[in-house]
Amino acid sequence: MYTQALDVPDSTPAAPQAVPWVAGPAEAALQERFDLKIDADQKIEPQDWMPQAYRRTLVRQISQHAHSEIIGMQPEGNWISRAPSLKRKAILLAKVQDEGGHGLYLYSAAETLGTSRDQLLDGLHTGKAKYSSIFNYPTLTWADVGVIGWLVDGAAIMNQVPICRCSYGPYARAMIRICKEESFHQRQGFESLMTMMKGTEGQRAMVQEAVNRWWWPVLAMFGPPDADSPNSAQGMRWGIKRISNDALRQKFVDATVPQAAIMGVTLPDSELRWNEERQQHDYGAIDWDEFWATVNGNGPCNKERLATRVKAHTDGQWVRDAALTYAAKQKARALKEAA
Ligand code: FAQ
């Protein structure tokens, strides 16, 4: 369904170009070395000099991505105790655990840029940092779990495979493993929905109803249209972002239409049709007011998601305290033995 060849260059319109910048002679030399690396498509590593704006952009994007992974555990986690069979429960448990793991790799990648885990989590818990709009929608039926795998993970892979070639080494390397796991997630979602589609009339209706609710929020998940995307131009010049929001959205629509036909569901868009001239699908208008309301804290489940996350963090304080006390005791013992 999606390529496993995660690190293959695609037809990105323009190669990343360094951003011109003027400063004192010492910084100008460092900037020049950084620019040359970006132009040569080499990786920037944590110990390398980098412009502050590049560092800030990476901390913003990687931490938002990490927050999305851990908040993203909630909608599906709601169904672990209600999965319809032991097999589906085991699969779902493993998937939700994978998402937690992705959060951990990403927080670690962000920490290499000099921001502590506590600072990153503080941004999330105080509502200052964003996480993906898509996780503010509810999971009302079991079919929603399959649709998250098929469409949400499908969209996530489409967006994240190009990040495997991001110019910042730790982020790019984390993404390789994440994409491999997301690819499994997408397939299990498709397989779960296919099973339901081969079942009863009621099951087929449940799948269709879930697809109807998720389709538009999933398209919005790729971010605002290119013309309204303030971070895109800079992100692309730095080789952080490789393909634009609109181009990825289009690739996703084109990949998903044939999958929906195989599954036997209708995508809820009367304007969706193949455009022979463009060799791509045309699709209807996305409700950007709904997207921005959700991003700005007023989606269907924003308050619930954040409250659940803050409670989990507060309830886990004793575990962190115990781990730190244990580590301090181990260190003291090692010092005593060495003395
Ligand atoms: N939700 O200028 P742009 C997953 C914000 S992981 C909320 O276009 P940029 C795995 C954006 O931050 C899903 N906010 O920004 C999983 C910016 O605000 P800021 C997450 C959004 O950075 C599956 C403003 O709008 N994936 O699904 C959204 O160039 C299943 C202007 O936007 C990633 O994070 C949105 N959808 O492009 C887990 C991938 N879109 O920060 C569990 C990495 C935009 O200036 C179950 N991130 N905004 O205040 C990216 O690729 C990029 O950051 C974009 C946004 C494409 C998300």
pLDDT in tens, 297-314: 999 999 999 999 999 999
Place of tokens 């040359």: 36
Q: What are φ and ψ of residue 86, in 5° steps?
A: -65, -40
Helices (H), the chain: 25-39, 52-71, 73-77, 86-111, 117-125, 142-147, 154-160, 169-197, 201-220, 232-237, 245-263, 288-293, 302-315, 317-338
Distance (Å) from CA 27 to ligand 1 centroid: 31
Using only C-alpha atoms, the chain has a radius of gyration, in whole angstroms, of 22
pLDDT (tens digit, 9 = 90+) per residue, 259-301? 999 999 999 999 999 999 999 999 999 999 999 999 999 999 9
Answer whether 0.85 is exceeded by the pTM: yes
Q: Which helix (H) or strand (E) holds 280?
A: strand 280-282
pLDDT at 334 over 70: yes
Which residue CA neighbors atom 30 of ligand 1 most closely? 153
Nearest to 265 by CA among 218, 213, 217: 213
Q: How many A from CA of 219 to the centre of ligand 1? A: 12
* Tokens encoding 180: 């491999």
Whether the CB of 224 sits within 6 Å of ligand 1: yes
For residue 221, the ligand 1 atom closest to its alpha carbon is: 36
Residue of 55, 92, 287 lying closest to 188 (CA atoms): 92
Closest-lying ligand 1 atom to the alpha carbon of residue 160: 39
- CA neighbours closer than 13 Å in the CB half-sphere of residue 85: 5
* Local structure of 172: helix, strand or coil: helix
Q: Per-residue confidence at 339, pLDDT binned at 50, 70, 90?
A: confident
Burial class (CB in 10 A: 0-12, 13-18, 19+), 93: middle
Mean pLDDT taken over the chain:
93
Mean pLDDT within 139-166:
97
Rounded to the nearest angstrom, the distance between the alpha carbon of 323 and the centre of ligand 1 is: 33
44 ligand 1 Cβ < 6 A: no
Whether pLDDT at 1 is above 80: no
220 CA: nearest ligand 1 atom? 36
Find the farthest-apart pair of alpha carbons in the chain and give their distance in angstroms, rounded.
78
CA distance 271 to 248: 19
Rounded Cα distance between 123 and 105, Å, is: 18
Angle, helices 86-111/169-197, rounded to nearest 10 degrees: 160
